[in-house]
Amino acid sequence: MNNYLITIIGPTAIGKTALSIALAQHFNCDIISCDSRQFFKEMKIGTAVPSDEELASATHHFIQNKSIFDNYSVGDFEKEAIEKLDELFLKNNIQIMVGGSGLYVDAVLKGFDDFPDIDEEIRTKINADFEQFGIDYLQQKLKELDAHYFQKLSTENPQTLQNPQRMKRFVEVCLGTGKPYSSFIGQKKNQRNFTPIIIGLEAEREMMYNRINQRVDIMMNEGLLKEAENLFPNKNLNALQTVGYRELFDFFEGKTSLKFAIEQIKMNTRRFAKRQITWFKRSENTVWFDYLVDRMEIINFIENEISNADLRN
């Protein structure tokens, strides 16, 4: 039997959840959530977790299944998601994955490179140095230890150089193995037992920004301030280094006003959406649809893709 993983991608607040539920109901299948912020059960409002009604409309996996105190990596997700898909494909050869976390989407579709385990003492030391010296320290270390990869990021994906989690990982691999991080990339070909059909949702920039601004206002009305206040004592955890919480933590510390913090959430979410689009637009295998397109048009496209693939096989 040929297996197909319908993968829905696109920027935040574009309507991926609604489309995924419609497709899951049409194809009578489950949904694999691929949003790295929605894994954590303590973060509900600020990560736009599907509503109770939406969750009841189709079976979802990997939503609020971890704690912010868990050490959970993209490699862990790849392993668990592939195992879950293997199980689901036994029931239905069509399944759905949806999310805006490009790295996590790629991990499932293409596989995650095989990195060796790193001594916990090295990880602790890097965390301590980062707390003392900041992101500049991590950038300089990567430049020293893997100049090729540093230059590649500077040219192709500069925002990654500002991501503490990613940068700490690059440096710890270099220090823990004595080899450049880039030497471990692309070492193996990961075999998948499915054919991906990748659907992208997009909108004009102004419309996308308006949807983001409206979503932030809705989050605040639903209690994001209180949720962030409850999480504030754990503000240094990696899971909480994300838009929607960092800005409110600054407010709690007296660094900004609440009004300014909310505007910062909107601005930083818009910037996040731009980065998502940049990441996803690199894929040549994605077919893009306007977010308002009739869903039957997308369903017809998917069914044609599956029929053609079945004929080829």
8 A C-beta contact, residue 142 and residue 171:
yes
Q: 77 and 94 share a domain? A: yes
- The CA distance from 122 to 219, in Å, is 38
Q: 209 and 268 share a domain? A: yes
- The CA distance from 72 to 238, in Å, is 10
- The CA distance from 225 to 245, in Å, is 9
pLDDT tens for the chain, residues 1 to 313 = 599 999 999 999 999 999 999 999 999 999 999 999 999 999 999 999 999 999 999 999 999 999 999 988 888 899 999 999 999 999 999 999 999 998 899 989 988 777 777 887 888 889 889 999 999 999 999 999 999 999 999 998 888 999 998 999 999 999 988 889 998 887 665 789 999 999 999 999 999 999 999 999 999 999 999 999 999 999 988 889 899 999 999 999 999 999 999 999 999 999 999 989 988 998 889 999 999 999 999 999 999 999 998 888 7
pLDDT at 148: 94
Number of compact structural domains in the chain: 2
155 is in an annotated binding site: no
Residue whose pair of structure tokens reads 């998601």 in the numeric block: 81
Q: Give the full edge-to-edge strand order of the sheet including 94-98.
A: 60-61, 31-33, 94-98, 4-9, 195-202, 286-290
CATH of the domain at 221: 3.40.50.300
8 A C-beta contact, residue 125 and residue 36:
no
Q: 85 and 30 share a domain? A: yes
Backbone angles phi, psi at 62, to 5 degrees: 70, 35
CATH of the domain at 171: 1.10.20
8 A C-beta contact, residue 78 and residue 108:
yes
Element of type H or E holding 48: none
Evaluate if pTM is beyond 0.85.
Answer: no
Most distant pair of Cα atoms in the chain: their distance: 63
Q: 100 and 237 share a domain? A: yes
66 is in an annotated binding site: no
Q: 104 and 215 share a domain? A: yes
Q: 77 and 217 share a domain? A: yes
pLDDT at 165: 87
Structure tokens of 213?
């601004």
Q: 222 and 135 share a domain? A: no
Which structural domain, as residue segments, surrounds residue 175? 120-184
Query: Residues 231, 234, 235, 238: what is their CA dihedral angle, to the nearest 10 degrees?
Result: -110
Q: 91 and 235 share a domain? A: yes
Q: 216 and 96 share a domain? A: yes
pLDDT at 191: 83
17 is in an annotated binding site: yes
Structure tokens of 26?
């049409």
User: Of 184, 217, 238, which one is at a domain's C-terminal end?
Assistant: 184
244 is in an annotated binding site: no
**Residue type, position 16, single letter:** K
15 is in an annotated binding site: yes
195 is in an annotated binding site: no
User: Of 184, 211, 238, which one is at a domain's C-terminal end?
Assistant: 184
| 186: β partners | none
Q: 194 and 100 share a domain? A: yes
Q: 11 and 76 share a domain? A: yes
User: Of 133, 157, 184, which one is at a domain's C-terminal end?
Assistant: 184
Q: 87 and 195 share a domain? A: yes
